[in-house]
C-alpha cells in the first residue's frame, strides 16, 4: 500500500509521506467520539465510541493495514541506511578535497603578506556602494528530509524582505530542484538562473555557479553576492546561514552579512561514526598550517596577477564546500526523518496489532459461547 494511505491512518492532516508523524497525542485524541469539539452539545457516547482503541473495521482490513505498515517501515529503514551511506561518501569528498584547499590557503596567505604594503587592485575584492545584491540559494533536489528545504527557503524570504526594506534591488540564483520549483511558482521574484546538481557536488557544479556570480559581479550588474546554504552541525541539527561570497577578502576570509569574518585557515571536519550501536557525528577543529615562504623566493609574475588568478579558485572552493555542507545537512535531515517515520510506523503497527488481537479474541470467545449455548439447548 502507498505511503499516503499510511499517513491517512495516522493523521488526517498529513499531506505526504515526508510528514510521517504518528504521535501518541493523535492516537489518544482519535478515540474521542464525534462531536466532542468545543461548543458541541453533550451526548452520551455509544458503547462502541466509548471503548478506547476501537478500530471500526474487520479482521481482514486490520491484517491488511498491519502488512502495509510493515512494508512501509522496511522502506523507511532502507532509506535511512541509504542516507547514512551517502553521508559517508559526502564526508570522503570533503576529506579528499582538503589537500588542495590547504595548499591554496597557504599560497593565498603568503602572497597577501607580501602585498600588505601595496594597493591591491583585484576585481573580486573591489568594494562598491551596494545598489543590487545577488542571492545564491542552495536547496536540495529531493524531499523526504523533514524541514530542510523549508528552512533555507524561509531564510531566503526573510533576507529578501530585509533587502526590500533597505530599498535595494536583488536577483536570485537558485541551486537545487526544490528551490527551482519554489521560485518558478513565484514569478514576482527575479531569478537570474536555475541550476541543478543531481548527486554529489563536483568541481564542475561549483564552477558553473562561480562563473555565473563572477560575471554578475565583474560586469557590475550586482555589487554584492551572498550565499545562502545549510551549515552541517550534527545529525539532528542544521543551521541555514548567509555568507558574503563577493567581494572577497584579500586573505580569503569568509564573512557573514554582519561583517563577522572567519579565518580561512580555520576549518571544521565532521566524521560520521558509530557509538554504542548508534550513528553519531564527531566534529574536529582543524587549523591549516601556513608556513611562510622562503625570503629568497621570488615571483616570476607580479604577485597581484597571481592573486588575481588564485581568488577565483578560492571562490570555487568555497562554493564547493557550501554545496558539500548543504548535501550533508540534507542527508542528515533525511536520516532523521526516516528514523522518526520508522519509529512511528513501529508504534502504529503495535497499536494495530493490539486492536487486532483483541477483536480476534472477542470473536473466538463469542463463537465458543455460541457453541456452549447450543450444546446446553440440545441437552
Q: Which of 30-39, 54-63, 235-244, 296-305 has the lowest mean pLDDT?
A: 30-39
Averaged pLDDT of the chain: 75
The pLDDT confidence band at residue 87, using thresholds 50, 70 and 90, is confident
Q: What is the pLDDT of residue 136?
A: 94
User: Does the annotation count 145 as an active-site position?
Assistant: yes
pLDDT in tens, 180-209: 999 999 999 999 999 988 778 888 889 999
Q: Which of 52-56, 82-86, 338-342 has the lowest mean pLDDT?
A: 52-56
Q: What is the pLDDT of residue 152?
A: 93
SS3 of the chain: the string is CCHHHHHHHHCCCCCCHHHCCCCHHHHHHCCCCCCCCCCCCCCCCCHHHHCCCCCCCCHHHHHHHHHHHHHHHHHHHHHHHHHHHHHHHHHHHHHHCHHHHHHHHHHHHHHHHHCCCCCCCCHHHCCCCCCEEEEEEECCCCCCCCCHHHHHHHHHHHHHHHHHHCCCEEEEEEECHHHHHHHHCCCCCCEEEEECCCCCCCHHHHHHHHHHHHHHHHCCCCCEEEEEEEEEEECCEEEEEEEEEECCCCCCCEEECCCCEECCCEEEEEEEEEECCEEEEEEEEEECCCCCCCCCCCCCCCHHHHHHHHHHHHHHHHHHHHHHHHHHHHHHHHHHHHHHHHHHHHHHHHHHHHHHHHHHHHHHHHHHHHHHHHHHHHC
Mean pLDDT along residues 34-54? 44
Task: Delimit the domains of the chain by residue range.
Answer: 84-336
Catalytic member of 57, 145, 255, 261: 145
CATH architecture group of domain 84-336: 3-Layer(aba) Sandwich (3.40)
Mean pLDDT along residues 270-292? 58
Q: What is the pLDDT of residue 50?
A: 40
pLDDT in tens, 324-377: 888 888 888 888 888 888 889 889 988 888 888 888 888 899 889 888 888 888
pLDDT in tens, 117-156: 556 666 777 788 889 999 999 999 888 888 889 999 999 9
Amino acid at each position: 500500500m502507498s505511503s499516503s494511505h499510511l499517513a491517512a491512518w495516522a493523521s488526517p492532516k498529513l499531506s505526504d509521506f515526508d510528514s510521517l508523524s504518528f504521535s501518541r497525542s493523535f492516537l489518544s485524541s482519535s478515540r474521542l467520539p464525534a462531536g466532542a469539539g468545543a461548543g458541541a452539545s453533550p451526548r452520551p457516547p455509544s458503547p462502541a465510541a466509548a471503548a478506547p482503541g476501537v478500530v471500526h473495521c474487520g479482521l481482514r482490513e486490520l491484517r491488511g493495514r498491519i502488512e502495509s505498515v510493515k512494508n512501509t517501515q522496511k522502506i523507511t529503514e532502507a532509506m535511512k541506511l541509504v542516507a547514512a551511506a551517502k553521508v559517508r561518501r559526502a564526508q570522503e569528498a570533503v576529506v579528499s578535497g582538503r589537500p588542495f584547499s590547504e595548499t591554496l590557503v597557504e599560497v593565498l596567505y603568503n602572497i597577501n603578506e607580501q602585498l600588505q604594503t601595496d594597493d591591491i587592485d583585484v576585481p573580486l575584492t573591489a568594494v562598491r556602494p551596494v545598489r543590487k545584491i545577488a542571492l545564491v540559494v542552495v536547496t536540495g533536489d529531493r524531499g523526504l528530509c523533514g524541514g530542510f528545504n523549508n528552512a533555507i527557503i524561509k531564510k531566503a524570504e526573510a533576507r529578501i524582505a530585509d533587502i526590500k526594506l533597505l530599498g535595494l534591488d536583488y536577483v536570485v540564483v537558485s541551486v537545487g530542484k526544490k528551490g527551482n520549483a519554489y521560485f518558478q511558482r513565484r514569478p514576482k521574484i527575479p531569478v537570474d538562473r536555475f541550476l541543478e546538481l543531481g548527486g554529489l557536488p563536483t568541481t564542475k557544479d561549483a564552477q558553473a555557479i562561480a562563473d555565473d556570480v563572477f560575471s554578475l559581479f565583474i560586469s557590475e550588474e550586482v555589487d554584492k553576492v551572498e550565499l545562502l546554504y545549510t551549515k552541517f552541525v550534527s545529525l539532528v541539527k542544521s543551521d541555514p546561514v548567509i555568507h558574503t561570497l563577493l567581494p572577497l577578502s584579500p586573505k580569503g576570509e569568509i564573512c557573514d552579512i554582519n561583517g563577522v569574518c572567519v579565518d580561512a585557515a580555520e576549518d571544521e571536519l565532521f566524521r560520521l561514526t558509530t557509538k554504542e550501536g548508534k550513528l553519531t557525528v564527531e566534529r574536529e577543529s582543524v587549523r591549516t598550517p601556513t608556513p611562510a615562504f622562503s625570503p629568497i623566493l621570488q615571483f616570476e609574475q607580479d604577485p597581484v596577477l597571481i592573486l588575481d588568478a588564485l581568488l577565483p579558485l578560492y571562490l570555487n572552493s568555497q562554493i564547493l564546500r557550501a554545496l558539500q555542507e548543504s548535501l550533508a545537512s540534507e542527508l542528515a535531515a533525511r536520516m532523521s526523518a526516516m528514523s522518526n517515520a520508522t519509529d512511528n510506523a513501529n508504534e502504529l503497527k503495535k497499536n494495530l496489532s493490539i486492536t487486532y488481537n483483541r477483536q480476534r479474541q472477542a470473536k473466538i470467545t463469542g463463537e465458543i459461547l455460541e457453541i456452549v449455548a447450543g450444546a446446553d439447548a440440545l441437552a
